[in-house]
Structure 1
Amino acid sequence: MRKAGQTLVGKIIATIFFGALILSFAIWGIGDIFRAQAPTTVAQVGETEITVNQVSSAYTKAVQQLGRQFGTVITPDQARALGIDQQVVSNLVNEAVLSEKARELGLSVSDELVVRWIVENPAFRGADGQFNRALFDQALRNAGLSEAGFVQEQRAAMTRIHLAEALAAELPVPAAAREALHRYANERRAASYFVLTPTMAGEIPAPTAEQLQSFYDERRSSYMAPEYRALSAIAVDAAALAKPDAVSEADARQRYEQQKANYGSPERRTVQQITFSSQEEAQAAADRIQQGATFETIATERGLTAQSLELGTFTRAEMLDPAVADAAFSLAQGAVSNPVAGRFGAVLVRVTQIQPEAVRSFEEVAPQIRQEIAQERAREQIETIYYEIEDMRASARPLAEIAQEKGLPLIQIPAVSAVGQDKAGAPVSLPEQEAVVRAAFASDIGVDNEAVRMSNGGYVWFDVTGIEPSREKTLDEVRDQVTAQWREDQIAQHLSERARELTGRLASGEAIEAVAQSAGAPVKTATDLTRGTAKDDLSAEAVNRIFAVPAGNAGNAATGENARAVFRVTSATVPPMVTTTQEAERIETQLQNGMSDDLISQYIAQARQDLGVTINQQALRQATGGEF
């Protein structure tokens, strides 16, 4: 081809040949050569691009953090319903806006300042309190960052912080605002009230079929059955592999003799001591005790109380002073030691009580020892078995067959939801339940899943064997639940109508005692009420409603479960002006924080308009695992 390409005809033929070759790749081999590539940019802020990888990383962290906070697995549908995807993008856009404005203003952070921040960061300090390079490198590996990338991120973050501080730090707080917040937070109210309970709602007839169907239709989304998945799993850990019966009695006895102290409780002694300023003074006191004086007499002469004599009850290892420990554990009960040169001076020691050492016999602890030894031996086999099972999995051997060959129990879960519960709402029994369930809901039927590493060093292999999609439950399935909720709704409506009627009577001037008597409820009094704080049988919402009504007026509010309070505000006490510096500083800080947040939010909003922000929803769905 090189020789042919040297002539004009050869060059023409070569051009045609390679053109055809490229076209054939485009049609048959490289399918995407002429097709649009998947977007890589989720948002554009001025000259800054926010990539799919950036959004994906931030989104994953946010979902995991929320899952840890609520102690459950957050599914993709739940995450989208909570708006986590939009919140993550908004946060990244806001950061990009501040970075763009900082760049426009020529703001930067020096290398020295970034380095100082890293060196002084407590997360990177070792046990000696100094910067630890190994901890720093480990943090970078965990975050998947290079050193240069981490420094760049920190420089950008510090620049944004400096810009925000320049915008909103140390804002002056008007005295009028400080006093208004103080009066709002510290106002106290009192009210007379009575409570309408569900029994006062009157007769609630059973719902008709039409009423129940209508109630159900309006709330269909509330009666959803979650998605369930069927799983098969096997687990390999030290407990599963351990064979206690294979541990010989000689090995078990040897372990017992070596660690006998672990199979009982050591001797403990209750110790008293008197401290002297010199060894000679302590010797003189010891001589007097030998001549008949009591320990208590010496203590009294030195102005010590019975309580100050007590050192405590300890094992030998628990005593801080080795010299005192040696003396105390060599004495008979009730005996007084010779002078002891302790860490804190010369002392006389007395033992008032001895709790003897208690060691269980070999026969009592032999099963426990055999189990410990067996598990230690089994841990050495885990990695070998792991690779053997992985080879079997690579050969498409089913888990049931692997479990039978390896003598492992096959765990079969007929149905589990994304939160680890079966259809009855009970948690399923599964090793490393949270991690396995999370992985199972990210997988599918027929997928060869990676083993989940257990916290004790073992592994769990699993297969998704069935998927039951989420669905609306039929009315017949939830009839009892719908009926109960319909009744609660009717009670609430009746009580609300009754409360409005009684509130109107109070507003027209009737005494609360007469109105309450007609409702069959006792009148109660609530004093020293504060905003947002429940008291007695008034909920926080009811108390807030009392603060929303002028003094002397009446109102009503829901309180507790299916109950309603009807009230009249009897007094409103406005506090005096701020009287302490500490209180003034606290309120001022609170207002400064709120004003700073508002000012920065307004700045970012205007900057977003000036810079121009575009968001690619297709790329966002790609970054957060949504459907196109």
Structure 2
Amino acid sequence: MLEAIRNAAQGIVGKAIMTVVMGLIIVSFVIWGVGDMLRGFTASTVASVGGAKISAQEYHVAYDRMIQQYQRRLRRPFTNEEARQIGLDRSVLQRLLSEAAVDEEARKLGLNISDDALREIITSNPDFRDKSGAFDPARFADALRNMDLTERGFVSELRQQALRQFIVAALTTGIAAPKAEVTAEADYEGQTRSVDYFLLPAAAAGEIAAPSDEALKTFFNDRKSSYRAPEFRAMDVLALEPEMIANPAEVSDADAEAAYAKIAGKDPRFGAPEKRDLQQILYPNEADASAAEAKLKAGASFDDLVKERGLKPEDTDLGETTKDAMLDKTEADAVFALPQGGVSEVLKSQFGPVIVRVKGITPSTMKPFAEVADEVKRQVSASRAGDKIQALHDKIEDLRVSGKSLIEAAKAVGLTGQSIDAVDAQGLDPKGAPVNLADKAELLRAAFASDVGLDEAPINTKDGGFVWFDITKVDPAHDLTFEEAKPEVEKQWRAEEVDKALAGKADDLVKQIKAGGSVADLAKSAGAEAKSAQDVHRAEQTSLPEAVVAAIFREPADGAGSSATPDGRVVFKITADKTPPVDFADARVKAMASQLDSATRESLLDQYVEALRRTLGVVVHPEVLQSAEGS
């Protein structure tokens, strides 16, 4: 779980200075607010850069907002301990230090921004304008109230942000990555290789003798830290979902048929409607369209019309569509009345007159109503279960308040609770089998943020139901003993022995290939099938595993090698190596150059801010920082 949070942290926080670079002046305040939001916090200095000070209040506000953002994203409480484990406290401090360093430099340079310029920034913000586009003081005031800001505080922080932007612009305007770097990166990404290869299966390793206990213990001790049992939790669960209380008998045939007419073709459980692969020629006016229709009647083909209009086949392709997906009902009726290969007369579409050809037809697989009537009735009944769900919810809550356990409460209202002996955060039992749980992802997230004895509110499910849970036991994560880990140890030992044996055989085969041996002949002698892969790129998905692709590009242009895969070991010979000329007008090269330009500017700003911080001097007060975090 923490690893996932670490990944998220990299995208949200980024490098400290990029807040200055990429943040829009006004929007940043809408999102982050300013330092006068929190009242009554003890005024102390967390850190200083030169003469600029970061108060405990300022740090606490920034840190608390980041915590709240994580809570909204994770939809659960996010603690100080978790924040520290992913370095959120350090990231917030570094961002504030970087901003303070730039602010101090702006002060030393005597930079300022006029009130007129600030007024222009505020009045030009579309968030503060009415429908006519004019600045609306009432909207501006509402925005300040929503952000809990005073106008003076807002303007003060806006002035700082604007000055930061000016410094950033002065440093980065016109900065671009060197052309040689763009060329090298384009060459790297554009390079392709073709290979002949075959798979040496695990069976080719031969018989692996059973290991002794001593060998396994040595293997275990060398990797002891990797053998851990995850935290398991025992819990009682009570799910209350519309499907559980649905009663198909309460739904009339007429109501079910009406519902079926609405969902047939949209719900895959009841089949799919007919689809048609269409081509269309759009004409600028009725006269041109009528002239084209006359040519069709005189014997011209649809393809003739396409050629006459100077269109490519892909310019006319609409792809597959259902009748309901077409916006114009009259056009849809006409098109779906044509046979396969049929060409329509001039039809009126929302874009103008068109002529349509039916390129292909995929027949309907719709199930007849009689075949799915019971399922439709159950679905209709479930959709009507809202009042019943709420009534049962209230009864269950009353029973819990009176001291009943979840299992007892379930029984009292005619439901069946679920007692889970052990489940980890991934939803697996101690044997690695998945545990069946209602609303699994949300339930596990909430359950592993709870504890024994806590009375948690039920989880709201997407279909309007509820899931209650009580944690009854927590078995903490712990190191496994040799005896506990032995089955897994033996499995991994054997896998490594197989890989060693295959690697040895593969090395011998690679030597033969390098000496002039044929991949086809060597594959045949190994009882394997020789295959080829053309134009393999480093980063693009291919039929070859990622590890094999990486190995292919590690070898010389005419080299040979091998790489382990889940099924054995691939032996390969590179048969072609191509690097196309760099086309700087190509969209992919332009996008790559733009990314390199941004990285170059980011690197320059990093160096600039780091130099400022060294020159000005940074002082951090850990005890005030800890207090500001609320620990």
Instruction: Normalising by structure 1, report the TM-score.
Output: 0.61
CA contact (8 A) 1:268 1:313 kept: no
The one of 466, 473, 479 equivalent to 1:472 is 479
- Residue 218 of structure 2 corresponds to residue 214 of structure 1: yes
SS at match of 1:462: strand
Gap regions ≥5 residues in structure 1? 1-36, 283-295, 331-338, 348-352
Compute the displacement of 1:52 (Å): 4.3
Counterparts of 1:216 and 1:200, CA distance in 2: 26
SS at match of 1:119: helix
Equivalent position amino acid for 2:483 in 1: D
- Residue 594 of structure 2 corresponds to residue 589 of structure 1: yes
Structure-to-structure mapping, 1:408-487, within 5 angstroms: 408-487=415-494
Change (3 A) 1:499 1:130: farther
Q: Deviations over 1:387-406 (max 9, x none)?
A: 44434433433222322222
Name the count of aligned residue pairs: 540
CA contact (8 A) 1:529 1:543 kept: no
Counterparts of 2:504 and 2:435, CA distance in 1: 46
Compute the displacement of 1:465 (Å): 0.8
Larger Rg: 1
Compute the displacement of 1:379 (Å): 0.8
Counterparts of 1:359 and 1:560, CA distance in 2: 44
Compute the displacement of 1:435 (Å): 2.0
Counterparts of 1:111 and 1:546, CA distance in 2: 61
Change (3 A) 1:571 1:402: closer
Change (3 A) 1:490 1:390: same
Counterparts of 1:206 and 1:269, CA distance in 2: 58
CA contact (8 A) 1:495 1:563 kept: yes
- Residue 297 of structure 2 corresponds to residue 300 of structure 1: yes
Compute the displacement of 1:446 (Å): 1.0
Counterparts of 2:460 and 2:396, CA distance in 1: 14
Q: Deviations over 1:515-556 (max 9, x none)?
A: 999x97889999977666789788233234225xxx89x896
Counterparts of 2:407 and 2:42, CA distance in 1: 40
Change (3 A) 1:236 1:190: closer
Counterparts of 2:609 and 2:47, CA distance in 1: 16
Compute the displacement of 1:486 (Å): 2.4
SS at match of 2:488: helix
Equivalent position amino acid for 1:606 in 2: A
Gap regions ≥5 residues in structure 2? 1-40, 266-271, 306-317, 338-345, 356-360
Partner of 2:550: 541
Partner of 1:7: none
CA contact (8 A) 2:235 2:420 kept: yes
Change (3 A) 1:314 1:96: closer
Partner of 2:18: none
Partner of 1:399: 406
Change (3 A) 1:197 1:147: same
- Residue 168 of structure 2 corresponds to residue 164 of structure 1: yes
CA contact (8 A) 2:176 2:601 kept: no
Partner of 1:350: none
Equivalent position amino acid for 1:539 in 2: V
Counterparts of 1:557 and 1:136, CA distance in 2: 65
Compute the displacement of 1:445 (Å): 0.9
Change (3 A) 1:520 1:131: farther
Partner of 1:606: 611
Q: Deviations over 1:44-90 (max 9, x none)?
A: 6641245345335425645876x79xxx9999999876656655654
Counterparts of 2:207 and 2:299, CA distance in 1: 81
Partner of 1:33: none
Structure-to-structure mapping, 1:521-540, within 5 angstroms: 539-540=548-549
CA contact (8 A) 1:119 1:131 kept: no
Counterparts of 1:263 and 1:187, CA distance in 2: 49
Partner of 2:239: 235
Counterparts of 2:199 and 2:379, CA distance in 1: 62
Compute the displacement of 1:233 (Å): 2.3
Change (3 A) 1:371 1:564: closer
Q: Which moved more, 1:398-407 or 1:538-547?
A: 538-547
Counterparts of 1:586 and 1:412, CA distance in 2: 54
CA contact (8 A) 1:502 1:566 kept: no
Equivalent position amino acid for 2:53 in 1: E
Q: Deviations over 1:486-524 (max 9, x none)?
A: 244345556778889999xx8xxx99327999x978899
Counterparts of 2:138 and 2:260, CA distance in 1: 39
Partner of 2:63: 55
Equivalent position amino acid for 1:110 in 2: L
Equivalent position amino acid for 2:554 in 1: R
Counterparts of 2:429 and 2:539, CA distance in 1: 39
Partner of 1:512: 514
CA contact (8 A) 1:267 1:315 kept: yes
SS at match of 1:598: helix
Instruction: Normalising by structure 2, report the TM-score.
Output: 0.61
Equivalent position amino acid for 2:594 in 1: T
Change (3 A) 1:396 1:605: farther
Counterparts of 2:553 and 2:487, CA distance in 1: 35
Change (3 A) 1:471 1:158: farther
Change (3 A) 1:359 1:81: closer
SS at match of 2:469: strand
CA contact (8 A) 1:59 1:85 kept: no
Q: Which moved more, 1:92-101 or 1:482-491?
A: 92-101
Compute the displacement of 1:410 (Å): 1.3
Q: Which moved more, 1:256-265 or 1:485-494?
A: 256-265
Equivalent position amino acid for 2:63 in 1: V
CA contact (8 A) 2:45 2:54 kept: no
Equivalent position amino acid for 2:514 in 1: I
